[in-house]
Amino acid sequence: MTEKKKVDIPDALDEEYYQINMDILESFSKYRPPLDLFRFMEDVARIVSFCRGGERLTNEQVESLAQLVEEGLIFVSRADHPIYVKHISYQLDLVLVDKNLHETEVADIFTQALTRRLAEFFDQPVPLVLVRLWTDIMVLTEYLFKDIHRIRALTRRLHTVHSLENHSFNSGIMGLAIHTKFKAQQYEAGDIKRKFFDHLAVGLFLHDLGMSKVPNFIRVKDKGLTQDERGKLQRHTQIGYEMLAKLDLKFLEVEECVTDHHERITGTGYPQRKMGGAVGEVGRVCALADSYCAMTVKRVYAEAMEPMKAAAALVQDPGYDAELSRHLQALLVMTGKHKQTTENPPK
């Protein structure tokens, strides 16, 4: 193996291109890289085209490409970001090894990858598909656990259109953001266990898995439901719990998210009308994230609420944990959501 050379890259170049490593190269189709590749010519300190995206490479080119990547001389253009995001979202663990991605680029990749995995799982809630979703959620928790503040870039990438997978993604991200804000000191001090964080994340993303068994016409209707339809809709927490058992997903935090996210500490929720302390911390976080995400997205029966207005309504509502709701408000101010209007969601 060639010893890796230290290549002197001009700063201006670094803004437009970034170097790829062997892990990234190996994730590409060997003979047809999916995007334009560039070669840095050290002697003239200039970047030139190596090959076009989708172009068939010869055996010699494949060999020389591997050699050049080893030497740190192959680059991709940041302008090809959308293609790269799509590519890497299929092999999410590459996010952890690609040191050149900006935080916002990583957030885009997670958003695409996890939303797609959630959609696949709701479509086919079987162990094989769950493993793929689980694996990708673990890449996210690995990434976030190194620095919990990274969650903030993700809260700026929430979906603005409602669907079960979009809502689940949004609730997962907001739930993690609320919990890491609420327990910031414990996270910083290393008092939160990685296993807990993993299971909390899975629970938040899957809180509505039972909805995948509720007919779509009932799911989108909500207002004006018959009693029978409302009963079916409200059974989604119980259905979800049964699905967890079948999937052998028996973790307390996951179960709590699924069964308790419609419970309210005033005893006015469902299915068990739990009160006060009977609704645990995980259930409370999930309830708050779930309601906030439902309120701030346009639905068939309601317009999207402004983020700060939704948070203010939740602070006023005694069914939610007031301390958590205040952390949500603070989080929205910190991430600039208080300036956001729903007509102009941030890119």
Spatial contact of 34 and 53, defined as CB atoms under 8 Å apart: yes
Smallest gap from residue 169 Cβ to Fe ion (A): 11
- Give whichever of 253 and 290 is closer to Fe ion, judged by the CB atom: 290
Amino acid present at 333: V
Residue 245's nearest CA partner among 127, 131, 108, 137 is: 127
Query: What CA–CA distance (Å, rounded) separates 237 from 254?
Result: 12
Residue 281's nearest CA partner among 179, 207, 189 is: 179
263 is a contact residue toward Fe ion (CB under 5 A): no
Q: Which stretch binds Fe ion (CB under 5 A): 44-52, 138-146, 173-181, 203-211?
A: 203-211
- Give whichever of 108 and 165 is closer to Fe ion, judged by the CB atom: 165
Amino acid present at 237: T
Q: Which of 98, 108, 198, 208 binds Fe ion (CB under 5 A)?
A: 208
Smallest gap from residue 17 Cβ to Fe ion (A): 41
Residue 168's nearest CA partner among 116, 223, 129 is: 116
Q: What b-and-e string marks burial along 230-259, b requiring 16 or more CB atoms within 10 Å of the CB?
A: eebbebbbebbbebbeebebebebbbbbbb
Smallest gap from residue 106 Cβ to Fe ion (A): 25
Smallest gap from residue 81 Cβ to Fe ion (A): 31
- Give whichever of 151 and 211 is closer to Fe ion, judged by the CB atom: 211
- Give whichever of 105 and 260 is closer to Fe ion, judged by the CB atom: 260
Smallest gap from residue 133 Cβ to Fe ion (A): 17
Smallest gap from residue 235 Cβ to Fe ion (A): 11
Query: What CA–CA distance (Å, rounded) separates 40 from 119?
Result: 40
- Give whichever of 108 and 208 is closer to Fe ion, judged by the CB atom: 208
Token pair in block for residue 77: 């253009």
If DSSP codes are grouped into helix, strand and coil, which group holds residue 157? coil
User: Per-residue contact track with Fe ion, 282 to 301, x per CB under 5 A?
Assistant: --------x-----------
- Give whichever of 256 and 290 is closer to Fe ion, judged by the CB atom: 290
* Residues forming the site for Fe ion (CB under 5 A): 208, 290
